[in-house]
A = this chain, B = another copy of it.
Amino acid sequence: MGTTQLETAPEPKYWHLKTVLSDALDSEFAVGEILPNERELAARFGVARATLRQALEQLELEGRLQRRRGVGTTVAPPRMGVAVGDSAHGRPGTAADGWQPVDADEAVPPTAVARLLGTAAGETVQVVRRIRKTHGQPVAAELLYVPVESVPGLSVPEGLPGAARARLVLRELEDLRPDGQDQAVELGSARADDAKQLDRLPGAPVLVVTTRYFAGGRTAAVAVATYRADTCRLTFGDNGAAEAVPAVLAG
């Protein structure tokens, strides 16, 4: 007879662990509850800590868990629906939908952005930093690149503090009333500066939303927004039913 186990399909330990933990989260834990620490969990399941961590990482990636150094691992709430496709929200400069201006500067954009803007290499543009909060939590950090040609009337007083300067550029851009936009979403990892604003560690998974704003047949501005992938579900709606959709399976 030989080996009895046919079709054994050697599932990795961390994968099996993940499903076990996932089921346990559904049935035995409430949102916000703290799990036993990693060493304890590893011992309980009879695996090395690294293996246990591999399972936890996956669950965190799927938005099921939240881990904070020095604190512990907690059960994460369902992901927030965040509207990004809605033109009303998307237009830069429209105030108070969770976006807060942080800073502004004149700088040379990354080459990829410069290519989108159609500016020459080395040419400086206005760079506005914004942060977006939902339910008090930071969900996105954005860099908005505006060529000076797009805001010809702009004059920035010397010594103006950053947030005020940012508001000034945004207000100016609002008058432009862009007539179209274009968005792309891809997976990335948080740069150190973005990570700090999003209250995450560098390298944390983020959804990078690149938006092109068109005005008068030109690309008037480009925004690169990095959303926390663990806590956010980006919604693109004909109708803004953001909160209605629950987190989806696919784990």
Contact = CB atoms under 8 A, between A and B. Distances in A.
Interface in A13-44: 15, 18
Given A187-B62, A205-B205, A236 B238 contact: no
A207 B233 contact: no
B184 A81 contact: yes
Interface string A37-63: 000000000000000000000100111
Contacts of A203: 15, 18, 58
Interface residues of A, number: 56
A122 to B, nearest CB: 17
Interface string A168-181: 00000000000011
Contact of A186 (B116, B191, B248): B248
A249 B112 contact: yes
B115 A183 contact: no
A212 B237 CA distance: 10
Contacts of A187: 61-63, 187, 205, 207, 229-230
Interface stretch (A66-74, A152-160, A239-247): A239-247
Q: Which of A63, A113, A245 has the most CB of B within 10 A?
A: A245
Contacts of A85: 85, 183, 236
Nearest to A234: B185
A61 to B, nearest CB: 6
B236 A207 contact: no
Most-contacted residue by chain B among A18, A112, A203, A205 (CB, 10 A) = A203
A216 interface: no
B115 A246 contact: yes
21 contacts: A15-B203, A18-B203, A63-B186, A81-B184, A113-B248, A115-B246, A181-B238, A182-B237, A182-B238, A183-B235, A183-B237, A184-B233, A185-B207, A185-B235, A185-B236, A191-B250, A191-B251, A194-B250, A224-B248, A224-B249, A226-B250
